[in-house]
Amino acid sequence: MQKLRALLTATILVLFSASVGAQSIDLGRGELPVTVPANYDAGTPAPLIVLLHGYTSSGAGQDSYMGFSAIADNYGFLLVSPDGDKESGGDENRFWNASSACCNFFQSDVDDSAYILSIIKKVKADFNVDANRVYLIGHSNGGFMSYRAAYDHSETIAAIASLAGASHADMRPAPENPVHILQIHGTSDGTIAYDGADIAGNAYPSAKNTVTQWAQYNGCEAQAAERELRDLVANLEGHESSVMVFNQGCKAGGSSELWTIADGSHVPAFSDTFAEQVVEWLLAHPKSYNSFSD
């Protein structure tokens, strides 16, 4: 009898762990898994990260490449990795309608900015989310989308981390609230150029102009500071990535930072600590209580 009780207890624990670790929401585009850390406590607000994939990829594929769900337990954050809509033609690739440059090639009217906000609101409704620690991470087209959502929903997004994405190229007024910005970009990126370029005639800014633009939006002083080198890529020797930071004189809740991967490609082979470095940066940059509104 004791052995039977022990077996039943172990089974219940396994089922409970599985239900906590992988739940889901549905907002009309199919079931969307939510990674819930093992130490999640409904009485304690948890950070939320929304991971946005690159053009042609998927939420699951992006997470497999970048490895954020694998460290959710260690850092205690909720993670959602949604899929973009499918194109109406061609290979029906998944994409985000982020900017004029990237990557709405079939002129879809899908409102992905509103969709991302609806994901955040739904997770907040189902879980105890720390409203001052809602973050976006995006790669390429997902990086463009992160900037779009941060601009549109600055009252909600605390910080974004964009790998090989870019902001908008046109002149706009600053968003209503400051947002912490991290741009990560390789100088040898052959898809989204580090120095900026255009896609089908639609321009996007360089990595430096992107972070400078957001430093201005955030009210930061024009002079950037340099920080320690980082090791972000496994197949490039040493600490290959330089760091440029705009964090002086900024509005509360705002800063702008660039990690430049010397000779880095569009799809770099990450170091063992890449995901940890990005998450630790995000968690160190919450929304300011002074500027936050739900």
pLDDT at 162 over 80: yes
Structure tokens at 281: 């940066």
pLDDT at 51 over 70: yes
Question: Do the beta carbons of residue 283 and residue 133 sit within 8 Å?
Answer: yes
Q: If you average pLDDT over residues 179-193, what whole number do you get? A: 98
- Residue 167: C-alpha distances to residues 7, 149, 205, 289, 291 (Å): 54, 11, 7, 25, 22
Q: If you average pLDDT over residues 168-191, what whole number do you get? A: 98
**pLDDT at residue 33 in the model:** 94
Q: Render 43-102 in DSSP notation, one character per residue.
A: TS-EEEEEEEPPTT--HHHHHHHH--GGGHHHHT-EEE-PPPEEPSSTT--EE---BTTT
**pLDDT at residue 30 in the model:** 80
pLDDT at 291 over 50: no
**pLDDT at residue 183 in the model:** 98
Local confidence band at 180 (pLDDT 50, 70, 90 cut-offs): very high
Ramachandran region of residue 96, left (φ > 0), alpha (ψ -120 to 50) or beta?
Answer: beta
Rounded to 5°, the CA angle 216-222-225 comes to: 115
How many C-beta atoms surround the C-beta of residue 197 within 10 A? 15
Least confident residue range of 27-41, 176-190, 238-252, 274-288: 27-41
Question: Do the beta carbons of residue 95 and residue 105 sit within 8 Å?
Answer: yes
pLDDT at 9 over 50: no
**pLDDT at residue 83 in the model:** 96
**pLDDT at residue 7 in the model:** 38
pLDDT at 122 over 80: yes
Local confidence band at 31 (pLDDT 50, 70, 90 cut-offs): confident
Could you state, in order of their start, the residue ranges of all structural domains in the chain?
Answer: 21-84+93-283
Q: If you average pLDDT over residues 106-119, what whole number do you get? A: 97
**pLDDT at residue 254 in the model:** 98
CA 270 to chain CA centroid, Å, is 16
pLDDT at 2 over 70: no
pLDDT at 109 over 60: yes
pLDDT at 275 over 70: yes
pLDDT at 294 over 80: no
Domain 21-84+93-283 falls in which CATH fold? Rossmann fold (3.40.50)
* pLDDT tens, position by position, 62-80: 999 999 999 999 999 999 9
Q: If you average pLDDT over residues 251-279, what whole number do you get? A: 98
**pLDDT at residue 26 in the model:** 85
